[in-house]
Amino acid sequence: MSATDQRPVLVVDFGAQYAQLIARRVREANVYSEIVPHTITAAEVAARNPAGIVLSGGPSSVYEPGSPSLDPGILQLGVPVMGICYGFQVMAQQLGGEVAKTGRREYGATTLSVHGDGGALLAGQPETQTTWMSHGDSVVKAPEGFTVLASTDDTPVAAFESDERRLYGVQWHPEVKHSEFGQRVLENFLHHAAGIAPDWNSGSVIAEQVERIRAQVGDARVICGLSGGVDSAVAAALVHAAVGDQLVCVFVDHGLLRADERRQVEEDYVAATGIRLVTVDARAQFLDALTGVTDPETKRKIIGREFIRTFENAAEALVLEAQGAGEAVKYLVQGTLYPDVVESGGGTGTANIKSHHNVGGLPDDLEFELVEPLRTLFKDEVRAIGRELGLPEPIVARQPFPGPGLGIRIIGEVTQERLDLLREADAIVRAELTAAGLDTQIWQCPVVLLADVRSVGVQGDGRTYGHPIVLRPVSSEDAMTADWTRLPYDVLARISNRITNEVDGVNRVVLDVTSKPPGTIEWE
């Protein structure tokens, strides 16, 4: 079942920090979901013909003037609706229940008591379970005709339902892992209460996108800027599966890559896909442009500018080549993901993302139409599709890596000597994390060179004055917030010993234990 064939579950966003997470959890239940703003009208919802609706949480109080509201007609459409936290309270208020500030707030892990058989939402679950609450207001009276399904010590109406009207709600957050049976609650709503079959998967996405790409592209030529990252690699593989040799990928080696990345793209990726790849060696060009530059933002702008120039020159050469063969290059593949669309104001699925938003600053007047086969997908779904397409695991499982590469992981001027030093240290860190089986337990581990800092050390019975290397292992789901990863001490010790023994010019390894916020994931 494809995204376009399956009626979507609409996640109505009331300003929740977890709206995207709710949409992901729905998809983990093999049901297609889309995020829409709370300002959507009943007529707009009806036009989308959803299979179900989930109302998200939010930071407001339903009785405050100007708080986010819901078109009351949405609850009269006969579409199954589930409210979560603030969405639960909006439902209760609009349907004649009562919401109040009781002075008995609940934040964090909270014990829940299930009443009777739990109804449709809580069927088959333990009478007592741990849920994750985050609310100051409470539903103190359920709407007429609704059955109260659960309560806590401080919240007498923690869940309710009207199975006849197909309306349901919970006060806690089932989408977060801290809620013990949270995914089961969502699946009960989706599969049982709403009757939605769990038939949306990566295989159906591939079939759908191949069909759509062929319809869009026809017999025209297509180009793709391949970075070696997951998004562009999977997007290119999908397009190649659809139009074959009509696609040409351009890989710009700016000299700021990590060890072995160019070989992975040129050999492993090409061997797995059969894609025609044009590599542009621009290492000297980028290094010259960065000479003497230390300001982080200036570095980013220079790297972005030089990348655009290099890509455009390569694209122009390919256009001339195609014209000589009587063909046209009309399309540019872009690895836009669904979070890019949502965060750019496109939660309704109608926003037009500018070309410069997701391709490192490509100009608005770029003379290509965009092909965006991943724009309805989250990162984990993209990885699953990449594996199904047979892409090499080092590319599919690659952790996030900034477009400016090692250029922004050197604190100070970027030089060839410093790049070589950082590349060697980074390779050691990645090798040790892989050997310890920790790759899937962290979001990423930036390795930073403090090039403008020196520290005194003792190596070989002599005094040294070398650079410190910073390890920045972080855990995150979406990179909006992050915490530092508690790596085992023995792994940290091996990394430190290897770097200080094997990398000339480094005599100290330090660990960054700052969360985000207040710190960012990258140092620059």
- What torsion do the CA atoms of 430, 435, 438, 444 make, to the nearest 10 degrees? 10
Cβ neighbours of 440 (radius 10 Å): 7
- The amino acid at 292: G
- The closest alpha carbon to 129, from 106, 152, 111, belongs to 111
Q: Residue 19: helix, strand or coil by DSSP?
A: helix
Given the residues 85, 224, 249, 445, select the one marked as catalytic: 85
CB 270 within 8 A of CB 391: no
Torsions phi, psi for 317 (to 5 deg): -65, -40
Taking alpha carbons only, the member of 428, 384, 497 closest to residue 260 is 428
* Catalytic residue (one of 34, 106, 161, 175): 175
DSSP 8-state symbol, 398: P
d(CA 428, CA 332): 36
445 is catalytic: no
Cis preceding linkage at 518, omega within 30: yes
What single DSSP character describes residue 263? H
Is 175 designated active site?
yes
SS (H, E, C) 163-215: CCCCEEEECCCCCCCCCCCHHHHHHHHHHHHCCCCCCCCHHHHHHHHHHHHHH
DSSP 361: S
Distance of CA 362 to the CA centre of its chain: 21
76, 271, 440, 444, 450 from 476: Cα distances, Å: 38, 32, 11, 9, 24
3-class secondary-structure state, position 202 = helix
Rounded distance between C-alpha atoms, residue 178 and residue 130, angstroms: 8
Token look-up 């080549």 returns 321
Per DSSP, 264 falls in state I
> Exposed (0-12), middle (13-18) or buried (19+): which is 256, by Cβ within 10 Å?
buried
Check if the beta carbon of residue 52 is closer than 8 Å to that of residue 9: yes
Catalytic residue, chosen from 38, 106, 135, 173, is 173
Cite the active site residues. 85, 173, 175
